[in-house]
Amino acid sequence: MAKDSADADVIWITEVWNDQASHDASLSLPAVQAAIAQARPLIADVESSTVVEPVGGIGLPAR
């Protein structure tokens, strides 16, 4: 999670997945559906989504 430097009411959430299929599969899990339902009232808008290719970081496999 990160605060937006231009808007105090905005936060950025970054998720890292092995592939799109893994992300899609996670959305069918009851625990994930419950977390989304709990968070939905706090989310004013989801303006965009950006797909990137991580090249490294803590917890990510070495390339």
Is residue 25 situated within a structural domain? yes
Residue 32 has what pLDDT?
94
Is residue 34 situated within a structural domain? yes
Please state, rounded to an integer, the average pLDDT across all residues of the chain. Answer: 87
Domain that holds residue 35: 19-45
Cα separation, 36 vs 40, whole angstroms: 6
If one counts the domains in the chain, the total is: 1
Is residue 37 situated within a structural domain? yes
Is residue 1 situated within a structural domain? no
pLDDT in tens, 24-42: 999 999 999 999 899 888 8
Q: What is the mean pLDDT of residues 9-25?
A: 88
Angle made by CA atoms 41, 44, 45, in degrees to the nearest 5:
125
Residue 27 has what pLDDT?
92
Is residue 5 situated within a structural domain? no
Cα separation, 47 vs 58, whole angstroms: 27
pLDDT in tens, 40-58: 888 887 777 778 888 888 8
